[in-house]
Amino acid sequence: MNIRLTTLLLSLFLAFAVVGCAQPTEQDEAAAAIPEGSVDIGGGLLQVPVGEDEDGYTQYRLQWADTGEQVGSSTYYRLPSGTFTTDRSVVEATSDD
């Protein structure tokens, strides 16, 4: 076989082998698993919606963006300003209902 053709085929094989062997990291998998509606609050943290309370207010939990691990067990509510609070009475006082 021609040396140029052999070199080209070997290069292509190695290129595909390297790309095919690349495995996703834990951070890649965690980023892909970020729940819909999550809010990035900076510092590698997310507020993740976990449902609604009895009055229909969305509840959030704090979790690390890179691992998906929950931080503490507090329930948060989002204010109209976009900030978060654990004080439900503040949410009721600022809602437009």
Residues 17-37 have pLDDT tens digits of: 666 666 666 666 655 578 899
Question: Residue 66 in contact with residue 27, Cβ under 8 Å?
Answer: yes
pLDDT at 97 over 60: no
- The pLDDT of residue 31: 57
**Residue 37 and residue 40: Cα distance in Å, rounded?**
10
Q: Return the domain boundaries, the chain.
A: 3-94
Token couple for 6: 């052999």
Question: Residue 70 in contact with residue 63, Cβ under 8 Å?
Answer: yes
Residue 58: pLDDT band with limits 50, 70, 90: very high
Nearest to 86 by CA among 97, 69, 71: 71
User: Tokens 């929950």 appear where?
Assistant: 70
Distance of CA 32 to the CA centre of its chain: 6
